[in-house]
Amino acid sequence: MSSHGTPIPMTSYPCGPLSGVAEVPGDKSISHRSLILGALSVGETKISGLLEGEDVLDTAKAMRAFGAEVTDHGGGNWSVHGVGVGGFAEPDQVIDCGNSGTGVRLIMGAMATSPIAATFTGDASLRGRPMGRITDPISEFGAASYGREGGRLPMTIVGAAQPVPVRYVVPMPSAQVKSAVLLAGLNAPGQTVVIEKEATRDHTERMLAGFGAEISVEDTDEGRVITLTGQPELQAQTIVVPRDPSSAAFPVCAALITKGSDVLVPGIGLNPTRAGLYTTLREMGADLTYENERVEGGEPVADLRARYSPDMTGIAVPPERAASMIDEYPILSVVAAFATGKTVMDGVKELRVKESDRIDAMAVGLRSNGITVDETEDSMTVHGLGPESVPGGGEAASHLDHRIAMSFMCLGMGSQNAVRVDDGGPIATSFPIFEPLMARLGAKLERA
């Protein structure tokens, strides 16, 4: 089932070269944070390039329910009149975050230190995902949570009336957990300290500093120690959202595996905490170049140029790189099928609790398309068949997971036979223009 309707089966046929310019939408992580931090600020935050995917639209709706004035001015331009730190109103309706783990987890953190209650739910995928990783730290601030067995949604959070600051060591590599704790810390008096053993995407830290919070980051033997001083007055900002490197991965990788391709993907955010896929692809021998490197809105940005790469070889992806490419393993496993030799992806058990169990979803779908895949709880190994040798011809289940659906659509472009997914509907959560954008490059996608 798609998140908001009947399933949309899709087929991707083998196609000729992909060529042209692929202008992918705004960054999903930064889009969620722009709306949430805008809602917690005083004044009018102006956002351009906002990702208008279902996930982010659900966060916009949620911010309205908490009292912010969120306006869509068209063309990716939005404004948010915030209520200030501690100013959230109690929503009079259930907050439905759809498919979005980032949305629900960050918002739970943001409201956990206000004296209000809110009930959260989401689609079948989100209702199956663990929320204990958020309810544990917010309980230390004094918030209470009442959810289903195993810490699942629907769940009611009662925010702390008299929050206390916390010192929290994030037990798994998760930018969502780190961010939820920092957002909760905003309305606690004193200093909240978050420690992460492995660096994860740092947009929350960067943006909190941009909105005027007092926040410092120190690399120590214990890990990255982030210290936030609570109860700041956040100042409204003008935000230009860079294009999403995780969305760019699809046209880039499709070009690498489709004969004769040459695709330019301009203006991609290449924050080092997000760019692990591109490092990995270059190590595999991909013809991938960064052009016109620059800094925009405080984030490093470049134009990516990807050309067909028949000489790629499998590698062992360093596990310590996992956090910087966590959303890109599904599409990397597709590229790995077209490389010569084994690609070993280790240290990736977090993939099992994403929108779907991504190790299982990719392994099963790749096997049905003629590719050998081994999996353990924490790893996936793809046995590459080399260029022009991937049979395809199979069907994959997308399990309400946008990145699984798009990965298999890309697989079909370079395979010998068409690849089907049972439901391409979830693609709209993060990349609503995927089909027309890929079609313009030369992909043959069909809804059937």
Q: Applying CB under 6 A, which residues contact ligand S3P?
A: 29, 102, 174-176, 179, 201, 326-327, 350
Minimum CB–partner distance for residue 33 and ligand S3P (Å): 7
Residue among 15 and 228 whose Cβ is closer to ligand S3P: 228
Minimum CB–partner distance for residue 355 and ligand S3P (Å): 8
Nearest to 265 by CA among 300, 294, 307, 297: 307
* Residue 269 and residue 33 in contact, taking contact as beta carbons nearer than 8 Å: no
Residue among 90 and 198 whose Cβ is closer to ligand S3P: 198
Minimum CB–partner distance for residue 174 and ligand S3P (Å): 3
Minimum CB–partner distance for residue 203 and ligand S3P (Å): 7
Q: Is 327 assigned a catalytic role?
A: yes
Minimum CB–partner distance for residue 98 and ligand S3P (Å): 14
Minimum CB–partner distance for residue 179 and ligand S3P (Å): 6
Tokens standing for 329? 């393993």
Residue among 179 and 280 whose Cβ is closer to ligand S3P: 179
Residue among 371 and 380 whose Cβ is closer to ligand S3P: 380
Strand 77-81 to 69-74 pairing: antiparallel
Catalytic residue among 96, 202, 327, 422: 327
Residue among 105 and 305 whose Cβ is closer to ligand S3P: 105
CB atoms inside a 10 Å sphere around CB 67: 17
Residue among 102 and 187 whose Cβ is closer to ligand S3P: 102
* Residue 285 and residue 247 in contact, taking contact as beta carbons nearer than 8 Å: no
Task: List the catalytic residues.
Answer: 327
